[in-house]
Amino acid sequence: DTGVSQDPRHKITKRGQNVTFRCDPISEHNRLYWYRQTLGQGPEFLTYFQNEAQLEKSRLLSDRFSAERPKGSFSTLEIQRTEQGDSAMYLCASSPLGDEQFFGPGTRLTVL
């Protein structure tokens, strides 16, 4: 068990470009969560999946944000037409059907 992994760890992009981040949860964890963390703040919930079903997506920040978990294993978070305000750390967490969440190291996005 290697824990939750995220790729890439850092991403620098130009405004207007699309970016995609990947999260590999702990195997056999049914639930997968995405959060955004900006400097000096706690993580902010974006969306979550139970297996391949996206159970909550109303907290995604805009329609430029989308997430998928096509086979109930890894997940991707895509941001289209990035803006400077999207610069943040994007965190993924996974959980068995219970309350403890295990976090990955995050992907730091910088939009120039």
Partner 1 sequence: GNSVTQMEGPVTLSEEAFLTINCTYTATGYPSLFWYVQYPGEGLQLLLKATKADDKGSNKGFEATYRKETTSFHLEKGSVQVSDSAVYFCALSPPGNQFYFGTGTSLTVIP
Q: Which residues sit at the interface with partner 1, rule CB under 8 A? A: 4, 31, 33, 35, 40-45, 48, 56, 59, 91, 93, 95, 97-106
50 vs 80, beta carbon nearer partner 1: 50
Q: Is 99 exposed, middle or buried (0-12, 13-18, 19+ CB in 10 A)?
A: exposed
Distance of CA 3 to the CA centre of its chain: 15
User: CB of 11: closest distance to partner 1 in angstroms?
Assistant: 16
State the Cα–Cα distance between residues 53 and 22, nearest whole angstrom: 17
How long a stretch of residues is the chain? 112
86 vs 104, beta carbon nearer partner 1: 104
State the Cα–Cα distance between residues 17 and 81, nearest whole angstrom: 5
User: CB of 101: closest distance to partner 1 in angstroms?
Assistant: 6
17 vs 41, beta carbon nearer partner 1: 41
User: CB of 76: closest distance to partner 1 in angstroms?
Assistant: 19
